[in-house]
Structure 1
Amino acid sequence: MAISPKLLNEGEKVVVDTRTHVKALILPIFALVLLLAIGTFGQVKLDQDSDAQHITTLALWVLVAVGIIWFVLRPLIIWATATYTFTDRRLITRTGVIVRRGHDMPLARISDIAYEFGPIDRLLGCGTLLISDASTHGTIKLHDIPRVEETQRTLNLMLQKIHDPAAGHDDGA
């Protein structure tokens, strides 16, 4: 899952590299089960005695296949190709299959990193990372980030070192 080294600047190191939690695939899996159940039920209810019923069954399975492509494979591919990477210098997001979209934000522009998660998120160990920058763009939301609390703590330490370099050093006082 690591980001391509071609996307990193010289001396830049990856600190956190992640994608959306597999929780994002729960609905596509449910859709797959439902579509296959519909196809199977339809095939059992239609008798295969005539050519018209055979064509109807074939049409049903074509519709099920289209549904699987749209409601199962498309979300799976989107999930597999979207990455969120924090380096020691910036946030790098990459999404898309045919049209790749990317967004880079220097860590120095980030003013706050928070998280939120509900009961299901807590149960699954994921949450939404809220990244506020100093611009008028507002807040970037990265949904369903695995181990969101740990990620937020790591990123806050990085931001502290960037915004207050003296805080990372012990003066021995």
Structure 2
Amino acid sequence: MGYPEEALAPEEQLVLHRHPHWKMLFWPAVTFILITALAGFVAGVVSRRTEDPPRSWLLLAILLIWLAIVLWRSVSALIRWKSTHFIVTDRRVLIRQGVLTHTGIDIPMNRISNVQFRHGLFDRMLGTGTLIIGSASDEPLEYDDIPQVQKVHALLYHQVFDVVQNNGNGGGYYGSEAGYP
């Protein structure tokens, strides 16, 4: 049983599970490439221009600095990306994020009043955007970097409409028969 399934209630069906768009990993990847190239260049210069006893210490220092920057800027971003989940079930929307400090928001489908999305030109080219969910809370909740935000918007809208329509008929069914991915 994977992560989203263990967060579900009995008989609750997973409709969608996404991590944020890969664009949030772009700058950490660029950082990794640049810092690796710079460390390699500096290590090459140190290897050619210094004598053996200080050379080993300088190379070790370069390695430790490289490792610290890679962990701080690249690996931490990858872990943040991997530990952020946007989940839609037939009953609710769940957002989970964090490794050491785990936070989550659950929004029942019957409490969602509107669903909007926003994406600019660059986001449209990448197939991502911001999903805005209006609920019983004071402020609408915004979730950035949702992949295929238009499809998620349509799916969520249909899920909300199905809940309202099925609850209005007296049924307790929260599912959708449309077969969305």
Relative to the length of structure 2, the TM-score reads 0.83
Partner residue in 2 for 1:36: 36
- Does the residue aligned with 2:113 lie in a helix, a strand or coil? strand
Q: Is the contact between residue 28 and residue 74 of structure 2 (CA under 8 Å) also seen in structure 1? A: yes
* Aligned positions, number: 167
Q: Is the contact between residue 21 and residue 145 of structure 2 (CA under 8 Å) also seen in structure 1? A: yes
Partner residue in 2 for 1:158: 159
Q: Does residue 1:85 correspond to 2:99, yes or no? A: no
CA RMSD of aligned residues (A): 2.1
* Runs of at least 4 residues off by over 6 Å: none
Partner residue in 1 for 2:127: 125
Q: Mark the runs of 5 or more structure 1 residues left unpaired by the alignment.
A: 169-173
Partner residue in 2 for 1:171: none
- Among 109, 112, 115, the alignment partner of 1:113 is 115
Cα displacement (A) at 1:130: 1.0
- Does the residue aligned with 2:101 lie in a helix, a strand or coil? coil
1:5 and 1:32 map into 2 onto residues whose CA distance is 33
Give, as a single letter, the amino acid of the residue that structure 2 aligns with 1:7: A
After superposition, what is the alpha-carbon deviation per residue over 1:91-113, rounded to whole angstroms, capped at 9, x for unaligned?
11111122322221111111111
Q: Is the contact between residue 91 and residue 105 of structure 1 (CA under 8 Å) also seen in structure 2? A: yes
Q: Mark the runs of 5 or more structure 2 residues left unpaired by the alignment.
A: 170-175, 177-181
1:90 and 1:82 map into 2 onto residues whose CA distance is 17
Partner residue in 2 for 1:143: 144
Partner residue in 1 for 2:98: 96
Relative to the length of structure 1, the TM-score reads 0.87
Question: Percent of aligned pairs with the same residue?
Answer: 28
